[in-house]
Amino acid sequence: MKKVITYGTFDLLHYGHINLLRRARQYGDYLIVALSTDAFNENQKHKKAYFSYEQRKSLVEAIRYVDLVIPEQRWEQKLSDIKHFQVDTFVMGDDWTGKFDFLKDYCEVIYLPRTPEISSTQIRQELKSHK
């Protein structure tokens, strides 16, 4: 079984996230999503998700391309995740290009083009201005 893993917050789930997950899943036949916990978001990524970890987990688990959701609690857990789950391919959007090349000794590393013109930040901003 070829396993794929990807990481993210997936807040205000939108079609850009779905596009990424669909393409990531095509690199194998089992997709793991390491979902940023609320503590990781606030302490390490300095952003506060609108939906809680549990709410985001239930959303991501409902996506047909996703087979398993695990918590992302530390930047440094990727290598142990890849070894623990025997992952073949690591996939991220290309806003991360180059950042995870150190994983290339352990698995395939793929950066996929982001879906343009959609982001959770933009959704928030537009909702704010449409009072």
Q: Write out the catalytic residue numbers.
A: 45, 47
Interaction of residue 118 with ligand C2G, rule CB under 6 A = yes
Query: What tokens does 91 get?
Result: 């996939």
Three-point CA angle 97, 83, 74, nearest 5°: 60
CB-CB neighbours of 47 under 10 Å:
12
Contact 13, 55 (CB under 8 A): no
Query: What tokens does 117 get?
Result: 């013109």
Amino acid identity of 80? Answer: S
Is 106 in a helix, a strand, or coil?
Answer: coil
Interaction of residue 22 with ligand C2G, rule CB under 6 A = no
Binding window for ligand C2G (CB under 6 A); candidates: 16-24, 57-65, 80-88, 102-110? 16-24
Please, which residues bridge with residue 55 across strands?
A: none
Binding window for ligand C2G (CB under 6 A); candidates: 50-58, 81-89, 90-98, 101-109? 90-98
Among residues 20, 31, 59, 82, the one that binds ligand C2G under rule CB under 6 A: 20
Binding window for ligand C2G (CB under 6 A); candidates: 1-9, 55-63, 80-88, 101-109? 1-9
Q: Provide the binding-site residues for ligand C2G, judged by CB under 6 A.
A: 7-10, 16-17, 20, 36, 72, 92-93, 95, 114-115, 118-119
